Amino acid sequence: MKVLIFLTILISTSVNAMTIDEYLTQVKAKNRTIRSYDIDVEAAADKQVAGDLALSPLLTGSYYVQKDKSLPLLMFLAQERTTTAAALGLSKKFSTGTTLALTGETYKYDYDQPLTPGDTGYSTGRLGISLTQSLWKDSFGRATRLRQSREALTAQLEKMSSDLKKRSALIQVESDYWDYLVAQENVKLKQANLERAKKLQSWSSNRVYNGIADQSDLLQIKALVSSREVELSNAKDELESKGISVRENLDLSSSDPLPQFTSSLTETRPYITDLSKKPNMIRIQNYLTQLEAKIKQDVSDEVRDSLRPDLSVTGKYYTTSYDVDHQTMQNNITKDDRPVTYVGLNLSWMFGSDAVSAQKSSAEKAALAARYRAEQEALVGKNAWQDFLRRYETSKQNVLTLEKLAQIQSERSRQEQIRLNKGRTITFNVVTAETDSAEAQVNYLKAKSGLRKLEASSLLFTDITE
């Protein structure tokens, strides 16, 4: 029975055990804030595709019936004229600035009380193709290419902005993980400190009772015990507080048990691996400024192109059909014995004015200002990466130093207690050594946690060559 209970506890613990990577995977799957940033990225991609809506084929159709009794009556008409018309068209604009259109139209004219006896109406129709090509303002699709470039950059900017928010949120999520581990270790440390202080108090009480030590020595130890009790209480409260953050990240209720975290504060995170070998790392926030500058330049080019004169060439070809019988007209609509051809040029020119010049100047100055900011931010972003690498190496060295210091202070505290047992030191020295050892252990814990957090903050950088 005992073996069964032990196995049940073991299995339960292994199921609830969670590494840092498993924790982050759970957060990405459950945390609504993190998921919202993924949706924002998808929305930015959809918006870029939607920008080509103007290039989608367009189907048009119309049908109407018109009765006309208006005066004056013209020759060969009637007291009442009825016109029935139907039209169907399909047009498509291409990225080259070319617009292709197919159209079909039919008209049926019926006369009631015709002025000419026997003239009851007739039907006409035509089926045609037209081609229009811009030669100047949207020269062979220049405006479309500029728009596509701007929209692609805008989508990239929006996706990177959302990704940056997600990365920042994940950094905080991971920070909560390490804070929780530190809080757990701190409780263990404070509990051990309290137990040592209580043992020291018990030992001092015996010495005072036997007349070997003074009451003042015991009071010093009692003060140390009280201090350790307060520290343990605060550590437990801090652990509860950090646990709330972890629950929120994992979308757990207050009644759900927290998983057992198995990762160690000494495990180096993979973010930092080989990053120092990449020469083109830059802080994402600074890189976004460069994207904004490129967008402003495309906007300036679009404004300049939109204010150019518009010259386009148009060619049309139609087949025509005529008959007094509507069905016969429809059957003959594809015959090319009586075609209509058309070739023409269309020009529109907006003469220069202060408004036109101001619009161009405004867009150009906005692009120039954005470029200056981008050049400055590029330098700042690269320097930030070098500063990050420097701080990381310093932090790693500090962790090693603080580890040695914690070991030294712990050994010093132990030796002072040995000396006190032999009567070769005073209680004050023991209390001081114990306090220094506790502080050194806490500083070592915080340094390890800070190094893990610093590794996670490398997510705020990106390689612009990728």
Residue 109 identity: Y
Is residue 392 predicted with pLDDT exceeding 70?
yes
Q: Check if the beta carbon of residue 106 is closer than 8 Å to that of residue 85.
A: yes
SS (H, E, C) 13-26: HHHHEECHHHHHHH
Average pLDDT in the 96-105 region? 92
Q: What is the pLDDT of residue 7?
A: 39
Among 421, 158, 458, 430, residue whose Cα is nearest residue 283:
458
Is residue 2 predicted with pLDDT exceeding 60?
no
Average pLDDT of the residues of the chain: 85
Structure confidence by residue, pLDDT tens digits, 265-294: 888 888 777 666 677 888 899 999 999 999
Both ends of the chain: CA-CA distance in Å? Answer: 59
Residue 115 identity: L
Structural tokens at position 15? 């199921």
Q: What is the pLDDT of residue 5?
A: 39
Cα–Cα dist 421/410, whole Å: 17
Average pLDDT in the 88-116 region? 88
Average pLDDT in the 393-408 region? 91
pLDDT tier for residue 77 given thresholds of 50, 70 and 90: low
C-alpha gyration radius of the chain = 41
**Cβ-based neighbours of 321, under 8 Å, separated by 6 or more:** 124, 125, 126, 329, 330, 332, 333, 335
Q: What is the pLDDT of residue 75?
A: 54
Q: What is the pLDDT of residue 89?
A: 95
Structure confidence by residue, pLDDT tens digits, 23-37: 999 999 988 888 999
Identify the weakest region by mean pLDDT among 89-93, 184-188, 206-210.
206-210
Please report, rounded to a whole number, the percentage of residues in the chain having pLDDT higher than 90.
31
Cα–Cα dist 219/306, whole Å: 87
Count how many Cα atoms sit within 13 Å of the Cα of residue 162 in the half-sphere of its side chain: 18
Which has more confidence, 106 or 198? 106
Structure confidence by residue, pLDDT tens digits, 150-203: 888 988 899 999 999 999 999 999 999 999 988 998 898 889 888 888 887 887
Any idea what the Cα angle at residue 376 is, between residues 37 and 456, rounded to 5°? 40
Q: What is the pLDDT of residue 10?
A: 38
Any idea what the Cα angle at residue 14 is, between residues 452 and 10, rounded to 5°? 135
Q: What is the pLDDT of residue 320?
A: 94
Is residue 6 predicted with pLDDT exceeding 60?
no
